[in-house]
Structure 1
Amino acid sequence: MAAVRALRQVMDADLGLDESQRLGPRLVRILNKTSVESASLAWLYTRCIGKTNPACEFLVAEMMAGLYSRQHYYGVIRIAQAIGSTINADIVRVSLAAICKQRKREKIKRPLVRYQGVTQFMDEYRGPGCPFRQLARKLVELLSLRDPLLVTAALLSKLLEIELLSVPLTVGLPRQVHPWLDAFTRYGVQPSVHAFTILMHAYLRRGDSEYAVWIYQGMQRGSITYTHDGRTESMRVPEPNDVALATVAQVWCQNREWAKVYEVLEVSQRLVTRAVSTLVDDGNVCEAEELWLKYGCRPGSEDLATRVLNDRALSKLVLGCTRTNDVGKATSYFRTACEYARLSGTPVSHLTGLFNTVLRCALDNAPQIDLRSDGRPDLDILRIATLHKVRFDGDTYSVLISHLSRVAHTHVLDNVARTMQNLYTRLCHEGLVLDDMMVSHMMPVWVYLDLSQLVTAYWRLHTQDRPPHKIAQVRRHIMYRAEHWGVGDRVAKLLV
């Protein structure tokens, strides 16, 4: 609340532009990190919206940026709908970005919105009358009225993306470039390479790869010729960059035009990733490996510290090795990914999912796994992950516990039971929770170790407010495992 009081003093005392610009945004950043932001930002919203004071504009921009950083995209849109004359380039930039983000997440979430007195789902607004498309145009127009020089190619590219997102994927786009670039012409701004990449991507999403390639070829030539009002006109376009190249490379990979792909592999690592991914998906892991070794490591030095590795393509290659059950190569490449992350200073958090995949493959393909002195399986992949401090997540523990439960009969049961209990303890210390499958594996172990109180507690937890058929399903899984441990009768008495 101290930040709220300080901010009100700044606004009420009218300290002037310089002071407000220095102090106001800092206080808003503090509010954005606290639990009181709802009331505070609501007060700030009513105080600032509608004013042309540059200090208010800076504060509103910070407020919207805070909402955007917490993925409250529709909150940003609501403020933008009432922005009025309180506008600057930062406000427009975050508003357009929020509209794009909200549009892209509609497949997962369908937020309710109120428009013209009617509450509907946001994704029902499509086509020319889409209010969010109109809002984006309105914001750019207001910014242009403030200062035409503030309307940049980056803002208009984001506006173009919103325009295209407002068209359903089931609707084919006309094979014309100039209508989509009308805003650039109207504001006297040269379209950027990003704008043409957005256009290419839109046509690709609708299956018109031929026209997407035509746009790319025009970028290579430096101009695009089109017909407008019966006249043939020419438009100067920028040269393609790596992103544009990787976009059109999707077509080459899909059409298996590998000759074109290989010609430009050294230019774009994005294309290397795309090519490796396509080859792995086709089952050509050996060819994907050769491609990564030739183009994914630059400049090809034997010293790992001086290499530049394409770690995204490497991750895909590791997945390919696990699909062919080549545990040795998968483990070796996983070690390379860990070593490169350490040398480049990159956090290894993104490697957990890859580690889980290799671990599952190693456990499934090992004829016999020895348990170390601490009870854990003796595997190279576990030693590598421990050495490089790759974090275990819920899936990691699930893989280990499930495997130990399945192979318990091949080891001394006491050792396996203590190992599984140690994994459970470590899982709890890391703040993770057991799912139904892990519970079905652990309950027989707890009975075997005379920890029946854990069975009772978890049974109550996992059966509370659940339908009878779900409870029966969980019980069947538990009893199946209990028979393997020879404690079926004891477990049955506890599951009441």
Structure 2
Amino acid sequence: MNITSTLDMQTEQPLPDVDVLEEDESCPRNCEPENSHVHSTSTHREKLLEAPSKPGTELRKKQTVAKARGSYRRYTPQQIKRLFGLVIEGRSAKEAALVTGISVRTAQKYVNTYRDDEQKRLPGIERKPRKGCPEKLNETHTQFLTQLVNQNPTAMDDILQQLDSILVPIFREVYRLDALLQDKEDLFSIKRHMHIKRKRQLDSKNGVFEHQAFDETLSLYAVFARFYFAPQTAQNKLASRTTRGTVELPQYTRPLKHVITEIAKTVAMAINGWARMEQHRSLLSRFLLKIVDIDRRYDDAYRLSTATMKGIVDTGLPARYLVSACKDVFEQLSTRVDALPESFIEALFALFSHANCFRQIMLMAKELTIVNPEIARQALCAIRNEQTRVQCSRHMYTSKSQHIGFGTNAGCVFRRPRNDWVSAKSHYSKSARRILLLLEQCGKQIVTSAYVAKLLEIDMAALDKSLVLPRTLSAFLRDFAYFGVHPDVTAMTIIINSYIEHGDSAFALWIFEQMESGKVDIGHGNGTSETIAISRPNDITVSTIAKAWCTNSNLTQIASLFDTMTRQKKPISQRLVTSVVSNMVDLGKFNEAEETWSKYGCAYIPYRSSTYEMPRINRRALAKLVIGYARVGNVDRAIRLLEMACDSERLATEDPAAGTSYLTGLLNIVLHECLSSKQDANGDVSLTDNTSISSDPLVRRDLHVIRMGLRCGGVRFNVTTYNMILARLSQASRALSHNTYSPFAMTDTDAERKKIIDAMQRLYERMLNDRILPNFSSLFHLIPMWVYIGNTTLALAHWNMYIKDKSPNKIKELKRHVVNQAKRWDIADGVIFDLLDPPS
């Protein structure tokens, strides 16, 4: 018999009242708490009234300090049952609570709850049934959806494609109901909430899911802009012809300011959503052009365009989605750049820099007549980035022509750098110098050493690497003297790096020694010299000079530098360690590089508390070591270092997803080298759990890498990892067909191929579980396998989904790749052509 039945049977012994059960601690047990409390209170109050009061004082009230509430505690069913058992035996709630370890207040609450409950359920154990309507979705629906997705993996894609028709009616209904509730306003609150009602009108249709509604929103804004800005447009345009930037723009009211802010947020959110859907990326250019056109016609300040472009940059959208839209805006921008407001130019340059459209920024900077510091900074950075991109291109120089043009719309011709470094001023240098001269017009004190150092970097990068630089600093610092600024440590670091790249490491070391002394002698052409004070070298300067030591194989100088910094207790920058290790790896000195990394690249830091410490490694230097060992064929050492990176990354953070891209990139590099290596490896691991496949010496090392990645929680496979594994299994199927692998030549071909098919199927399922969509490199290997086993439905579904919105020439090219991969499975070409291109 349980405690519940016992309580129900003893109805003749009702539970005493809680007030009677709970005794006052300030009273003796033989006193009645209630009467004693009343008597003591009244007596104390009478004594206070009869006592003579001191002059200047009043009757003070007794102040009590509230006790701090303790932490929430849970009680077991055994404690609760024992509590009620003691209460039934005749003890008070307080005594039973002290015996069972339950709080007194909680025990009293339990007793009251039990007394008021008609069904006499024990509180804390038996819960009341949930009220309300039954749930519409239950376990049956969950099982149905799970079975549907398992049978048709593309079901989720079909649902996502129907979002337009599903979500738009829902949003419209929600906003309609909200509008009906908001319309219940009295006459006096309508004017006060006018800007809220206008915002609700703009949001009445969700632009993210319905393009036509978003177009209507922009049309509504055009009406607002025409109403507020059109009367002042002619006056502003007339005034802007004389002095741009000094025109007093019209002040817009607060409601329109809210309208601009909300539309800009909506545009940024919509563009972020459209850009990630391939079939809607063309909408980016159309709506950006429409927003700019509305501001061009009605608003001289380009407020909406400026806010929209800033919002797009803040969303962090990848650059590859914005390139096409930025180029369209650049081509359709009919207004001259010098006639645009500075705030809009800043936002436009920031958007183009985010999209890596540096050439467009250079061309627009040529039309500028007035610049501010922010525009000058973005223009100089764009010039340097475009210069770097062109120099890294394989079409930079050709032996067939001296003149090379970059694009039909460039409007300029690039030449080879001349042998004279003074006259070797490329068009990049001329554009950068023009920007600085425009900035100087705003005030000579605005031009700082950072701007001149960027100009010096552009000039140095334009020189031919075979040119011998003169051993004098006067010509390099000529621009600093012209603008009246002092050369900083960045400028001196650029000069040192230039001398190292041109093969004069000795003079670079001399400049470094002069920087350590704090002054340098500058020789002039007339035989005189001048001593100026310069900044001491920073971490970047030391990293640059370490590159010269590594180039000259002067490793003792690097060790001496590290020992000196350790002896003087100076912090050793991890950037310096990374630079030294990278240069040593490039020179093939792996032992010295690993020794430097292990000695100076592993710092000990407190881990979550000061009780103990744990190593935190230099990840960039370790990545360079792993890649270097893998590229030279020492895969075993690369695997051991990769294991060390995985272990340290797992211990250094509580987040298992931290460092995922870093470790995944290293895993892919090592796995690629393992698949390309011809060396034997130790270990007994298997992807397919089959002895015949794992006995292949070419497979065993890469299987060890795969098992290691699965074991470490910080390593996540991406689509590249799966593609390499699928390619390796596909090659194994080809080996079965041609009997090129000796382990497969003596075994049953059908049985081994079945094991390979099972492994590829498990990889495909794991990709879906990890929410990784197969790209076409994956389908190259999966489609022939599906055709081989007869699952043509799945193969055709993936094929049709991928070739959507592809050009006919691209489809033919992809089809040829699938046909070539199908030969590994002994599938005739006609089977693939009939499947992927059925007769109409």
**1:252–1:8 Cα change, 3 Å:** farther
Which digits, 9 at most, give the CA deviation of each residue in 1:75-131, with x for residues without a partner? 21122111112x21001000000000000000327743757xxx3455768855533
Q: Offset of 1:347 from its aligned partner?
A: 4.4
Distance in 2 separating the partners of 1:168 and 1:124: 8
Q: 1:271–1:425: structure 2 CA closer, same or farther, 3 Å change rule? A: same
If the length of structure 1 is used for normalisation, what is the TM-score? 0.79
User: What is the DSSP-based 3-state SS (H/G/I as helix, E as strand, rest coil) of the residue aligned with 1:224?
Assistant: strand
Residue of structure 1 in register with 2:671 after alignment? 359
Query: Which string of whole-angstrom CA distances, capped at 9 and with x for unpartnered residues, describes residues 188-213 of structure 1?
Result: 11111111111122222222222222
Q: Deviations over 1:29-56 (max 9, x none)?
A: 987884233464574577784469xxx3
* 8 Å CA contact retained: 2:663, 2:714: no
Matched, 1:67 2:345: no
Residues 387, 428 of structure 2: 8 Å contact kept: no
| Other structure's SS at 1:112 match | coil
Matches within 5 A, 1:156-235: 156-228=452-524, 229-235=526-532
Q: Provide the residue aligned with 1:324 in structure 2.
A: 634
Say which of 437, 446, 465 aligns to 1:150. Answer: 446
Q: Distance in 2 between matches of 1:196 and 1:141?
A: 22
Among candidates 662, 683, 687, match of residue 350 of structure 1: 662
Q: Which residue pairs with 1:335 in the alignment? A: 646
Q: Is the 2:366–2:431 Cα contact (8 Å) retained in structure 1?
A: yes
The percent of aligned pairs where both chains have the same amino acid is: 25
Distance 1:310 1:343 in 2: 18
- Shift in CA distance, 361/467, structure 1 to aligned 2, threshold 3 Å: closer
- The letter for the 2-side match of 1:37 is L
Aligned residue among 3, 22, 37 for 2:288: 37
Give the corresponding residue for 2:604.
299
* 1:157-206 deviations in Å (ceiling 9; x for gaps): 11111222333334333322221211211121111111111112222222
C-alpha displacement of 1:401: 1.2
Gap change, CA 1:171 and 1:258, over 3 Å in 2: closer
Range with greater deviation from structure 2 (28-37 or 456-465): 456-465
Q: CA 1:212 to 1:38, structure 2 compared with 1: closer, same or farther past 3 Å?
A: farther
207, 222, 244: which is aligned to 2:541?
244
Structure 1 CA distance, aligned partners of 2:671 and 2:605?
A: 29
- In structure 2, the partner of 1:430 is 772
Change (3 A) 1:417 1:275: same
- What is the distance in 2 between the residues matched to 1:92 and 1:62? 13
The change in CA–CA distance for 1:256 and 1:419 in structure 2 (over 3 A counts) is same
Residue-by-residue CA offset, 1:374-422 (whole Å, 9 max, x unaligned): xx99756545457535443332112211233345658854343132134
State the secondary structure of the residue aligned to 1:174: coil
Q: Relative to structure 2, which stretch is displaced further, 125-134 or 135-144?
A: 125-134
- Number of equivalent positions: 480
Distance 1:210 1:318, change over 3 A: same
SS in structure 2 opposite 1:234? strand
Which amino acid is 2:670 matched to? V
Match for 2:407 among 94, 101, 112? 112
> Is 2:759 the counterpart of 1:419?
yes
CA RMSD of aligned residues (A): 4.5
The structure with the largest helix share of the pair is 1
Residue 41 of structure 1 contacts residue 63 of structure 1 at CA under 8 Å; is this kept in 2? no
> Is the 2:550–2:580 Cα contact (8 Å) retained in structure 1?
yes
Q: Which one has the largest radius of gyration?
A: 2
Which amino acid in the other structure matches residue 254 of structure 1?
T
Match of 2:720 in 1: 395
SS at structure 1 position matched to 2:522: strand
Unaligned runs of 5+ in 1: 483-487
Cα distance 1:131–1:406, how it changes in 2: closer, same or farther (>3 A)? closer
Q: 1:492 to 1:140 in 2, by over 3 A?
A: closer
> Secondary structure of the equivalent of 1:105?
helix
Q: Give the conservation status (yes or no) of the 8 Å contact 2:465–2:501.
A: yes
Judge which range, 225-234 or 169-178, deviates more.
169-178
Verify the 8 A CA contact 1:219 1:238 in the aligned structure 2: yes
- Kindly provide the amino acid, as one letter, of the partner of residue 417 in structure 1: I
> Is the 8 Å Cα contact of residues 604 and 613 (structure 2) preserved in structure 1?
no
Kept in 2, the 8 Å contact 1:356–1:395? The answer is: yes
Seen in structure 2, the aligned counterparts of structure 1 residues 301 and 321 have a Cα distance that, compared at 3 Å, is farther
2:42 corresponds in structure 1 to none
Distance (whole Å) between structure 1 residues aligned to residue 636 and residue 813 of structure 2: 40
Match of 1:91 in 2: 375
CA distance in 1 between partners of 2:258 and 2:463 (Å): 42
Which of 670, 676, 687 is the aligned partner of 1:371? 687
5 Å matches for 1:425-464?
430-435=772-777, 441-442=781-782, 444-452=784-792
Q: Which residue of the partner structure matches residue 553 of structure 2?
A: 256
Q: Find 1:404's aligned residue among 712, 724, 729.
A: 729
